[in-house]
Amino acid sequence: MYRLAELLRHYVKGRPDNLCIAYEDENISFAELDQRSDRLAAALLGQGLASGDRVAILATNKPVFFELLFACAKSGLIMLPINWRLSAREISGIIADAGPRCIFADEEFVDNLPPCAEFGDFKLIALGESFNQWRDRNSGDTSSDLAADRTLVRDADSTVMLLYTSGTTGLPKGAMVSDRNIAFHQRHGREMWGFSEASVNLVAMPLFHIGGIGYGLNAMLAGGATVILQQADPQQLCQAIVRYKVTHSFFVPAVIQMLAELPGIDSKDMSSLEFIGYGASPISETLLKRALKIFQCGFAHAYGLTESCGTVITLLPEFHDPEASNKERLRSCGRPVPWAEVALFEPQSMTQVATGEVGEICIRSGMTVKGYWNKPEATADTITADGWLRTGDAAYCDDDGFFYIHDRYKDMIVSGGENIYPTEIENILYEYPDVAEAAVIGVPHPRWGETPKAIIVSTPGVLIEIEALMEFIRSRLARYKCPTSIEFVEVMPRNASGKILKRELRAMTWPEPDMP
């Protein structure tokens, strides 16, 4: 397994002038990325930082994320991406936990940072021209020989990045990502999703998240080009696909929906597209049919988490035929990648369940992170002594090895003594025409304790009749599993990776309409 710096220098030797990163009007070659990351590593070390020190970045998507990642891979420093959407209090909590020595931040986010004196002294550097001047002024000697020497002594299992979990079920924890963990993205890109030196990858997912920076390495580590956008604006996405002849990209289904509804999308030249990955939620059959017609490319579902350093289960393009006799596989997240062992365990006894039975997804792989920063107890609770990563997700596996997510165990609804998995209901809702997004939560019930409530985003301009929808659900599910109320909303609350925040849905005060 190559290390990150070695992979970069491999392409520097073979294709130094080829496009590596495109961002706005800036084109960066592999040689330029290597030189920039060398200068940044030298500047940080020249400021007195040492191996193991953390360097934070609080910014929107831009090339400096990859400059810093490779600089840390070369120097022994640890990159700390911080979600800029967090509150000042949440950001302060991460800084207090990780203790960075240096923070790079966009000007607009500086006010969200705590005073240096609050958590010990750290150097704050505003991104932009001042960052370029700081890096170049402090870079010192960056000869390739010295940079290569630094790479050779680095342990591939040492931490190269701290990624704080999204905190959907509690306070964020810093997952320690090693050089070896993240280098698996080269193998995944080439073997699973068809990346090559000819690929052009469009990256609009946030780079402070594994779904952004991890996915963003797929083309780069295959020798291809990476196009970075600050956000997943459908108009900008469409323009970028046409301008750069994009071959690969990754979106959450809500973004695919927005692209499919973009006025004039049918007349745009999307012929360069070969692959669109999606994750965070299933894709509805209605949307998939529309997207296949527009984009004429392969689709793949990805299941993974921060602690697995990205995708470990994928539903490949050949299983995305909505007309196939086994189209129910569209509700699955696919099969494990070859280098990941995936099994289902009963969460209390940790005994493996039989095929078709529901258990907790557990993963054993070289991609599994080392643990949580400064949290040995949380690490022991999540990663077993024999290397199984406990995901907290409930699923079952069919005879052909396809995994079907039921839900997170913490989201399970207990109604009248019966266990109800919201994802089972959501999968039925996604089969209904004009249901664009769906989420099911448990709400209090005077007789049954709690019952399912469905929250739905419908296709724009379409009014879904509740009675017809309930008849559709009842014909496919046991009566006790069916929602006792349905609410329509314009938008779902989501975290940075696109996952629906059910804790926010539960916190809302919902009117209770009479069900038919």
DSSP-derived letter for residue 347 is T
Give Cα separations from 11 to 64, 118, 142, 188 (angstroms). 19, 43, 19, 18
So what's the pLDDT on residue 516?
45
Let me know if residue 299 belongs to a domain.
no
Let me know if residue 514 belongs to a domain.
no
Region of poorest pLDDT, from 146-155, 356-365, 414-423, 487-496: 146-155
How much is the average pLDDT of 316-322? 91
So what's the pLDDT on residue 406?
72
Helix (H, G, I), strand (E, B) or coil at 240: helix
Give Cα separations from 449 to 415, 416, 452 (angstroms). 6, 6, 11
How much is the average pLDDT of 253-263? 87
How much is the average pLDDT of 436-457? 85
On the question of pLDDT at 292 being above 80, the answer is yes
So what's the pLDDT on residue 144?
44
Percentage of residues in the chain having pLDDT higher than 70: 90
SS3 helix, strand, coil % of the chain, rounded to 5?
A: 35, 25, 40
- Angle at CA 337, nearest 5°, toward 334 and 340? 120
Q: In which domain, by residue range, is 469 found?
A: 416-507
Let me know if residue 484 belongs to a domain.
yes
How much is the average pLDDT of 310-323? 92
Q: How many domains does the chain have?
A: 1
Let me know if residue 357 belongs to a domain.
no
Let me know if residue 465 belongs to a domain.
yes
On the question of pLDDT at 511 being above 60, the answer is no
Let me know if residue 124 belongs to a domain.
no
So what's the pLDDT on residue 121?
67
Let me know if residue 478 belongs to a domain.
yes
Region of poorest pLDDT, from 45-59, 111-125, 307-321: 111-125
Rounded to 5 degrees, φ, ψ at 200 are -125, 110
Question: What is the rounded average pLDDT for all residues in the chain?
Answer: 87
Quick one: pLDDT band at residue 389, thresholds 50, 70, 90?
A: very high
Kindly give the pairing relationship between strand 340-345 and strand 335-336: unpaired
Helix (H, G, I), strand (E, B) or coil at 490: coil
pLDDT in tens, 77-125: 999 999 888 778 778 889 989 999 999 999 999 887 877 545 566 788 8
Region of poorest pLDDT, from 132-141, 314-323, 339-348: 132-141
Quick one: pLDDT band at residue 69, thresholds 50, 70, 90?
A: very high
Let me know if residue 197 belongs to a domain.
no
So what's the pLDDT on residue 151?
45
Q: What is the CATH number of the domain that holds 483?
A: 3.30.300.30
How much is the average pLDDT of 322-343? 89
**Whether the Cβ atoms of residue 148 and residue 340 lie closer than 8 Å to each other:** no
- Angle at CA 459, nearest 5°, toward 456 and 465? 60
CB contact set of 188 (below 8 Å; sequence gap of 6+): 218, 310, 311, 337
Region of poorest pLDDT, from 134-143, 278-287, 327-336, 466-475: 134-143
How much is the average pLDDT of 418-446? 84
